[in-house]
Each structure stands twice: as structure tokens, then as C-alpha cells.
Amino acid sequence: MRVLVISDVHANYTALEAVLKDAGQVDETWCLGDLVGYGPDPNAVVEEIREIPNLVCILGNHDAAVMGRIPLETFNGDARRSLAYHEKVINASNVDFIRTLPANPLVRGQATLVHGSPRDPLWEYILNALSARLNFEHFETPWCLVGHTHIQCMFTLNTKTDRVTMDQTKPDITIELSPKLILNPGSVGQPRDRDPRAAYAIYDTEARTWTPRRVEYNIAEVQERIRAVGLPEKHAIRIAEGW
């Protein structure tokens, strides 16, 4: 089965469209959360996600905030401003869809799906070998798929040496999977690994392979929409630079 794995779209409809076109035909799409936050297009993104056939989607922390489950005060100032705007403009039907998304880890075959981490699905960032090590014992499948950090990467637990390593994966280089791994497809709408191209991954469940991908999109067009609705200038700048 060929699976499109996406995360952290963050209301960037143009980037999402580019990813869906670039990925081509897939059997399923797994979304690791954060449909909203930061970007200018919350309704367009949620509506597009809702129409994807064979979709598996989980809740992100920004999604939880926009439906009132997490106080906006827990976010930094710029993120809070964007979420406050999204609360005003997102329609009831899209909020109802977000309410259906599971917040807890979800197992699909050999993979555990979470937004942040298996031990703290909404909030913890797996950014380094130490935070990865603390999470390997919290999932039983061979691999765990996470988002939240906006960094396309992989953590490997060597069961013989009990050592955890981090690798920043390279686009279009297919990885043959073996236990035990934590894999991050990167962010569709706001990458933070110094590559502004929209990030995603293709997971082949039968071949047991993971292929990180990047695709260019019209960043200037999204920046215009960010500025037009009065969102923080930081959000317009960072999508062009990937930080």
C-alpha cells in the first residue's frame, strides 16, 4: 500500500495543493495534525483535507486550540494572534470535523501515528536523540510517525548497542525500514529545516520503505494572503526561508 504522509499544513492551502499533486496516486493519506495555525487559509485547508479519500487524520495542538480544547494563552504571541484569527473565520462545519479527530496515538499496521510524541501526543517535541530515547518505550510498533517539529528527519534505536541516532533525511532518497524508528515527514505549510519547499513522505507498507519528498510552491502568493488578512509578518517571512 502506498501511503502519503503529511503533517503541519498550518492553513497553507497552496503548499497542500502542491503536495497532493506531486504525490500522485496513493492508497491512503495519513495526516499527523495541525491543519490550522499560522497561515491564511484555515477553511480551504480543512475542506481540502476532508475531501481526501481513504484519509486517516489525527489532532494537532493548533487544531485543539482552535476548537477551544487548549487555551490560546499557552501559545506564543504570534501563534496566538493567528489562532485568534482562525477562531473568528473558521466555519462551524470545519470545526465539527476537527472535533472528530483523535488526540491519542493511533496504530495503523506497523506504524503508530501521533502529532507530538507517543508519550505526549499534543505537546512534546522530538527534536534530538534524548527526547527520542524517552519515547521509544512508549510505542510497540516497529516505527512511529510524528510531526510537530516541522523538521524532516529520522531517529533510529539500535537495539544491540542501545544507542539512538538522529538523521536529517534527504529528499527522494528511499529508506528501507527496520525496527525501531521514529520518522517525521516534515511540514507541508511551514518547514523549519532551512528548506522552504513543502515537505511530505511516501510510506510503502509492503516494501517497508520511507521516501521523504519536497516540492516547490508559490510562496509569494501565500505571503500576500498572510499580509492581506493582517497576520504576523513573521509568518510571511519564515515560509520563504524555512525557519
* 3 state DSSP class of 234: helix
- Superfamily name and number for 2-241: Metallo-dependent phosphatases (3.60.21.10)
User: pLDDT averaged over the chain?
Assistant: 97
Does the pLDDT of residue 159 top 90, yes or no? Answer: no
> How is residue 137 written as a grid cell?
518505550
Please name which of 1, 2, 94 lies closest in space to residue 41, comparing C-alpha atoms.
94
* Per-residue model confidence as pLDDT tens digits over 37-79: 999 999 999 999 999 999 999 999 999 999 999 999 999 999 9
Helices (H), the chain: 13-23, 42-50, 61-66, 77-89, 92-99, 129-136, 219-228, 233-241
pLDDT value at position 197?
98
pLDDT value at position 195?
98
How many CB atoms are located within 10 Å of the residue 158 CB? 10
Least confident of 5-9, 73-77, 148-152, 203-207: 73-77
Overall average pLDDT of the 163-189 stretch: 97
Please name which of 61, 52, 26 lies closest in space to residue 149, comparing C-alpha atoms.
61
Does the pLDDT of residue 127 top 90, yes or no? Answer: yes
Overall average pLDDT of the 185-205 stretch: 98
Whether pTM > 0.95 for this model: the answer is yes
Residue 13 DSSP symbol: H
Counting Cβ atoms within 10 Å, is residue 71 exposed (0-12), middle (13-18) or buried (19+)?
Answer: exposed
